[in-house]
Copies of this chain bind each other. A is one copy, B any other.
């Protein structure tokens, strides 16, 4: 019997659940997960791999979109983190959509994927394997806070055959509006760079 939790109209909104979840220091933020979703055309029914990313926030964001027919395979090599992801996914009612594997991303065997997101050290080493696993038209998105990892990833993406590469960063400012409107004086200046490439 399929859990009613996977019916989209009945699941609680993930934004309410995400607020309560345990979070590590490097959560992918809505400005970054959002641009990945919008740039790749992610939608219900798609099949994805997400690797790294600590607490599973990217996994949950992807699963929320691909549900109820799609699938996210999450690879997290650290057993403690893998457990946190599992709990967080369950809290969101997405346990039928997400399969968490406590393995290195280098071991994945899934094929015919629409999207692979990597937010982990050494993501540049999984690029070639990612290319094979994607269906034609599928996207690889690599996220990291540092220029050097993005360079290594982008270089390997070109070598592996990815095209239409685009590396972006989003600087988000929050505003206070009223009689004295101004951006908040301090805030997050940098989260990470995102490189998006496509198998064509």
Q: Which residues of A contact B (CB under 8 A)?
A: 7-9, 11, 13-16, 30-31, 33-46, 61, 64-65, 67-70, 137, 145-151, 154-155, 166-191, 193, 195
Chain B residues within 8 Å of A170, by CB: 31, 170-172
6 nearest A-B pairs in the assembled complex, by CB-CB distance:
A34-B34, A34-B38, A8-B45, A44-B44, A30-B38, A183-B190
Q: How far is the CB of A164 from chain B (nearest CB, A)?
A: 10
**A38 contacts B44, CB within 8 Å?**
no
Extra contacts, 19 of them, besides A33-B34, A33-B38 (Cβ < 8 A), are: A8-B70, A9-B45, A9-B46, A14-B43, A30-B39, A31-B35, A34-B34, A34-B39, A44-B44, A45-B68, A145-B182, A145-B185, A147-B181, A150-B177, A169-B173, A169-B183, A170-B172, A175-B193, A185-B188
A183 to B147 alpha-carbon distance, docked (Å): 9
Complex Cα–Cα for A16 and B43 (A): 14
Contact between chains at B148 and A181 (CB < 8 Å): yes
Q: Per DSSP, are chain A's interface residues mostly helix, strand or loop, or mixed?
A: mixed
Which B residues lie within 8 Å of A150 (CB)? 175, 177
Residues of B contacting A7 in the complex (Cβ-Cβ under 8 angstroms): 45
Complex Cα gap A39–B35 (Å): 11
Task: List B contacts of A65 (CB < 8 A).
Answer: 37, 42-44, 65
Which chain B residue lies CB-closest to A61? B38
- Asked if A44 and B67 make an inter-chain contact with CB atoms under 8 angstroms apart, the answer reads yes
